[in-house]
Amino acid sequence: MKYPNSGKVYEKPNVSASNRGMSLEEDINKTNRYYLNEDIAVIYKKPTPVTIVKVDYPKRSAAKIVEAYFKLPSTTDYNGIYMGKYIDFEAKECESATSFPFSSIHAHQIQHLRDVIKHGAIAFIILRMTHYDEDFLIKANDFIQFYDAGKRKSLPYRWITENGFLIPKTYTKPCDYLLIVKNVFEL
């Protein structure tokens, strides 16, 4: 779960029966392609931010980056447009069965959610509780309110089930979060 090892390239495969080893990122990307192809929404994952230090330019072949480092993201991973609205969210997988630790979300990302909410964004977190094979949509406002209360260092699973919205999965839309967005944000 921790940066910089959270990208799908380096993470251990998630081999639950129902999702056939697909990571949350892969499921969201597949769903986003469906949304794009069906003219439902235009939402993309941002590239992983890296600081490029050294590039080789071999003759007759592509430029090769030979020294680069992972950089902390200043924003959330996903944004785009749906029904004319600016959409912004972060997606996280959580292996613990009991709670989602705040340490898994960077302070910059929480600040970014505050910033976009102020300007009218539809902002949320998609949280996959891998132990239960459940994906929840949590409104960024609800998350921030709990976070700011400062009483806990994690979101308890019970809080997640009571305040989050279970996201349906289908083969073509393995994480159909916009169905929830439409209802929860009353679009």
Using CB under 8 A as the criterion, which residues of the chain lie in contact with a second copy when the complex forms?
Answer: 4-5, 7, 9-10, 36, 39, 41-42, 44, 46-50, 52, 55, 62-71, 74-75, 79-88, 112, 115-116, 118-121
Q: What is the Cα–Cα distance from 136 to 161, expressed in whole angstroms?
A: 8
Q: State in angstroms the smallest separation of the CB of 50 from a second copy.
A: 6
Strands 134-139, 165-166: pairing kind: antiparallel
Q: State in angstroms the smallest separation of the CB of 18 from a second copy.
A: 29
Q: State in angstroms the smallest separation of the CB of 51 from a second copy.
A: 9
Q: What is the Cα–Cα distance from 93 to 125, expressed in whole angstroms?
A: 11
Q: Which is nearer to a second copy, 85 or 169 (CB)?
A: 85
* Residue 169 structure tokens: 């999965």
Residue type for position 27: D
Q: Which is nearer to a second copy, 12 or 119 (CB)?
A: 119
CB of 21 within 8 A of CB of 15? yes
Q: Where are the alpha helices (DSSP H) in 50-153?
A: 107-118, 140-149
Q: State in angstroms the smallest separation of the CB of 69 from a second copy.
A: 6
Instruction: For residue 92, list its beta bridge partners.
Output: 127
Work out the number of other CB atoms within 10 angstroms of the CB of residue 57.
Answer: 8
Q: State in angstroms the smallest separation of the CB of 127 from a second copy.
A: 23
Q: Which is nearer to a second copy, 19 or 29 (CB)?
A: 29
Q: Is 152 left (phi over 0), alpha (psi -120 to 50) or beta?
A: beta
Q: Which is nearer to a second copy, 15 or 63 (CB)?
A: 63
Q: Which is nearer to a second copy, 27 or 88 (CB)?
A: 88
